[in-house]
Amino acid sequence: MERRVASAYVARLATVGADGRPHIVPICFALDEQTLYFAVDSKPKQTTNLKRLRNIAANPAISVLVDHYEADWDKLWWVRLDGVARVVTDDGEVKRALRLLAARYSQYRATTPAGPVVAVAVAGMTGWSAT
């Protein structure tokens, strides 16, 4: 029996801590021109002292990899965004970022992320596509 995999794309945030060790986690994101936003949402986590936030404080250089997978490999693609991350402290920017995220994700319309919002100033982009 053939197993079918639905079309999907996933974003992963890569950070590096003060100890030089990499850390990668999946994220939900929204783009606003040259800024990528993500927020710490209410999905269960072991702690609120998140490694991704500690790493950004220690080393704000990050990468985000977005990739698309299908069983038909002619439809594969990926894009990597490199930039500098910061925790957003301006209330207006937080509200704008949360509106952008809610526009993309129904889960964020139902439950607004309560954690910090992070902005990434995108400095570079590279990618690949099978077609």
Domain 8-124: CATH architecture, name and number where available: Roll (2.30)
pLDDT at position 45 is: 62
pLDDT at position 70 is: 85
**Six-digit token pair at 31?**
């783009």
How do the pLDDT tens digits run along the chain, 131 residues long?
Answer: 344 444 467 899 999 999 999 999 999 999 999 999 999 987 666 666 799 999 999 999 999 999 998 889 999 999 999 999 999 999 999 999 999 999 999 999 999 998 899 999 999 999 999 98
- The whole-angstrom separation of Cα 101 and Cα 108 is 7
Domain ranges of the chain: 8-124
List, in order, residues 6 or more apart from 3 with CB less than 8 Å away: none
